[in-house]
Structure 1
Amino acid sequence: MDAKKLIEENNRKRELLTPENEAYYSDMMIYIRLQWRLSEQQSEEVLMEMLDHLLEGQEEGKTAKDIFGNDPKGFADEIIEQLPKEKKREAVPFIAGIIGDTVSWVLMIRGVLLLVLSKFIEVKTEINLFVVAALAFTITCFVILTIRFIFRLINNSLFKENRKTKRDMLKAGLFGAAGMAVVILVVKWVPEIGPSFNFPWWASLIAGAILQLILYVTKKK
């Protein structure tokens, strides 16, 4: 099975675990999946083998600790060391997909905002290429840093009995607010250098929708 089907099968089989075993296994599963440099296919195959082994042991009355030991993080680290790294040509589309998805939503949101605001006030539909490039670079950095920050928060919360979920959510919210503040400052303070052209709401909406459709078709393939 490919990685997508393995994930679906994993989700189905995890429902058969006891709450204790499911919590133990899920922490290891998330921890391994967060290592995005690893081969997704190989990671999911190993996770499925671990799950099948755990289910067999569970039928014999064993717990996850009996099977994998009292140090799930250490056990997961040993597995991670043995898994092959993801090929760069497979990692690049993943990052490009995130950036493309962000840009498409920015375009569509811009189109909707211009359409709504134009009913009440006079709006500026002209855009400057230099400002757009600076904004695109800022948003891309913001998205990548946000993903890394959230991954780190999740990673630090694993294998702990007393998880501070609310505190982590607050941290993520503050980080996101800080990032949005930087984006707003870029829009306000970056000078308009070079050519500008008219980009009305309908063109922005259509461009975003087309980009979103391209990403959808690409993911399906």
Structure 2
Amino acid sequence: MKVKEMIKENNRLREQMTPFNRSYLEDMILVLRASRVDPLRTEELLLEAAQQMLIAQKKGNTATQVFGDDPEAYFKEVIETTPSRPARSKLNYYLMIPWTALTLLFGVMAIVGLISEWTTGSAGMFGQISLFTLLSVGLGSIIFIEMIMKWMSSLSDTDAPRVGKFNIKGFGVYIAIAVVVIYAGLYLSQLFPPFALSPWVSLILSIAGLLGLKFIFLK
């Protein structure tokens, strides 16, 4: 079974779980997919865990009775004995985020710019871009995704819709980075004013970005 097929099957099994068991499995997913375990092995382990959880659920048992109180502890031995991922994997991850964000940016500029040209005869603000915008979207997307991942990992394991302990130190670091990026962007905006960018060029860049995502990052 391929990775995509296992993910699809895992999602199907999650729909059959109680809210608590589903939340527990989702914590397992976060732990394993963020670890250095090979993606194929990751999905195999998660699928096995989901199947075991459903069997236990039918017998009236909860996930904690099967796997323990800590979702991470269950896979601890697997994670610790797995060799570190090559540096390229981490590099690809941090390149993929701004690549995706900029692809979406160029896509929006192309669509709105072309519509504006068709209706008013001019692309207006969607016919130009600045280095500040590119820097803000690229680096800002990494900060945003990292903050989302930190927030998701802090969610409570219980069924109650509340957030667990908030990591104020980590949040402060990301805010500080965001401030630095904004001020750097403002400085660069003075050195490098906006330049013209045709909606058609934006469209080409967006298509190239999508092809890059498919054949470079998502292969």
Compute the TM-score of the two structures, normalised by the length of structure 2.
0.69
Corresponding residue of 1:53: 52
Query: 2:21 — aligned with what?
Result: 21
- TM-aligned CA deviation for residue 144 of structure 1: 1.0
1:141, distance to aligned residue in structure 2 (A):
1.6
Once the two structures are superposed, what CA deviation does each residue of 1:45-82 show, in whole Å capped at 9, x if it has no partner? 21122222223333444332221123435435555434
Matched with 1:95 is 94
Q: 1:18 to 1:90 in 2, by over 3 A?
A: same
After TM superposition, the score normalised by the length of structure 1 is 0.69
| CA contact 1:111–1:202 (8 Å) conserved in 2 | yes
The amino acid across from 2:25 in the alignment is Y
Match of 1:2 in 2: 2
1:119 corresponds to 2:129: no
Contact 1:73 1:159 (8 Å CA) reproduced: no
Percent of aligned positions that are identical: 24
Measured after TM superposition, the shift of residue 113 of structure 1 is: 4.6
Cα distance in 1 between the residues matched to 2:123 and 2:22: 56
Aligned 8 A contact 2:20 2:159 in 1: no
CA contact (8 A) 2:107 2:202 kept: yes
Structure 1: gaps (5+ residues): none
What is the CA–CA distance in structure 2 between the aligned matches of 1:32 and 1:65, rounded to whole Å? 17
Offset at residue 38 of structure 1 (A): 3.9
Q: 1:164 to 1:122 in 2, by over 3 A?
A: same
| Structure 2 partner of 1:12 | 12
Match of 1:43 in 2: 42
Identify if the C-alpha distance between structure 1 residues 199 and 63 changes in structure 2 by more than 3 Å, giving closer, same or farther.
closer
Q: What is the RMSD of the two structures over their aligned residues, measured on CA atoms?
A: 4.0
More RCO (CA 8 Å, sep 6+): 1
Q: When the two structures are aligned, how many residues end up with a matched partner?
A: 207
Aligned 1:205-216 pairs, distance under 5 A: 205-216=203-214
Q: CA deviation at 1:8?
A: 1.1
